Amino acid sequence: MIVITCPYCQSPDCIKFGSNGSGSARCRCHACTKTFTLNPKSRAVTPQKEADIVACLQERISQRGIARALKVSRLTIRQIRKKTLLT
Ligand SMILES: [Zn+2]
């Protein structure tokens, strides 16, 4: 049996508490009543995806088109464009 420990107070008295938006299990601590996700998924843009966005910008593909194709927000594309100083 897997014992879930609370990341806030290290209490082993935790129960399964539904799931979050991406489907990962949520847990709740009985001692401090806080909820948490075990091993949450990273939402960061990977260097590979950033390189793909830069390549698309250099091909003069529209920012909205890149956002749809690579499933990133338009704000992310604008931040990468500003960082790499593409015009
Ligand atoms: Zn706790």
Distance 19 CA to ligand 1 centre (A): 18
pLDDT for residue 86 is more than 70: no
Distance 18 CA to ligand 1 centre (A): 17
Rounded to an integer, what is the distance from CA 67 to the centroid of its chain? 16
Helix%, strand%, coil% for the chain, nearest 5: 35, 15, 50
Give dist(CA 41, CA 50) in Å, integer.
18
Distance 82 CA to ligand 1 centre (A): 42
pLDDT for residue 26 is more than 70: yes
Where is pLDDT greater, at 67 or 86? Answer: 67
Question: Averaged over 64-78, what is the pLDDT?
Answer: 95
Distance 28 CA to ligand 1 centre (A): 8
12 in Cβ contact with 1 (< 8 Å): no
Distance 37 CA to ligand 1 centre (A): 13
81's tokens:
């464009």
Q: How confident is the model at residue 23 (pLDDT cuts 50, 70, 90)?
A: confident
pLDDT for residue 71 is more than 70: yes
Task: State the pLDDT at residue 22.
Answer: 84
CA-based torsion, 65, 68, 74, 76: positive or negative: negative
- What residue segments make up the domains of the chain, in order of their start? 1-41, 47-84
